[in-house]
Amino acid sequence: MSLLTLRPVAVDFTDEQIVRHDQQRELGPDGDAQLALLFAEVFPANEPVLDVGGGSGTALPQLTRAGLQVVLMDVSSAMLSAGSCRGVPRVQADLRALPLPDRSVGGVHAAFVLQNIPEWTRAVAEIARVLLPTGTVLVAWGQSATDAVAAAVRDHLLRALQDTGAAVGVAAAAAGLDTVDDGHVAFTRNGLAIRSEHRVTGRQTRSIRQLAVIRANNPFMSEATHQQRREAVQRTLSWAASTLGDIDAARSISAELLLYRYRR
């Protein structure tokens, strides 16, 4: 499929950032199967479903496994290029101004994207605008790590990044997105009410070193230079070696995805 360039891109990512970003989303075979069943349950099979802010298409195998007509959308040309092998239409677009008519899609999947948009309420309004009256929106707002080791590594890494002077946090926090309830209110104002919550659980195989490197290279977690990320990882690994044990041993890490379903 061809890549449709609709507007200049202000944000782009390195190959390493894309790989690390995608690694965070892994749920393992059991989690992937749960996610595909959820998609088949909530989204219509006979209407287009947008994967907005879908990056390189990490959710596409599960969306297509559910038998859906999927369009991958992202503002990043690099992310979309990385998803060129996914076999679905790809559209480069800004979620704050979707290039679609009113009431034209049956479903929208928005996983870990709205919190990264400073004008996130505009994006919510756009999602509501393009959704059919019978359509469904499925959103992952982001949540804390449920695995104790992963949570400890994340928390130490965030403190280490802050100590280097790096800005840490999600972009939408400055515009009032402090809790999931804030997100629910924004959808309600646009005529969409929360109908249900869905929890998908899976496993990742990771060493502590991998957990730290993956987190540090998340392009949406902080505004940090290469040197700041490297310093934060080194400090985190030094702490982990003395408190958590072998930092290179493979561990089974629990992974969880919490999604909220909105409808009119």
Residue with tokens 């756009």: 126
Run of H or E including 132: strand 131-140
Question: Within a 10 A sphere around the Cβ of 196, how many other Cβ atoms?
Answer: 12
Amino acid making up residue 33:
A
| Cross-strand bridge partners of residue 223 | 167
- Per-residue confidence at 144, pLDDT binned at 50, 70, 90? low
- Per-residue confidence at 4, pLDDT binned at 50, 70, 90? very low
In this prediction, residues 158-172 reach a mean pLDDT of: 91
Evaluate if pTM is beyond 0.85.
yes
pLDDT per position as a tens digit, 224-252: 899 999 999 999 999 999 999 999 999 99
Could you tell me the two tokens for 45? 């099979």
Pick the CATH number of 3-145+170-203+254-263 from 3.40.50.150, 3.90.650.10, 1.10.240.10, 1.10.580.10: 3.40.50.150
CA–CA separation, 223 vs 221, rounded Å? 7
In this prediction, residues 69-97 reach a mean pLDDT of: 90
Contacts of 223 (CB under 8 A, 6+ apart): 166, 167
Examine the pLDDT at 82 and tell me if it is beyond 60: yes
Every domain of the chain and the residues it spans: 3-145+170-203+254-263
pLDDT per position as a tens digit, 197-216: 999 999 999 999 999 999 99
- According to the model, what pLDDT value does residue 171 have? 85
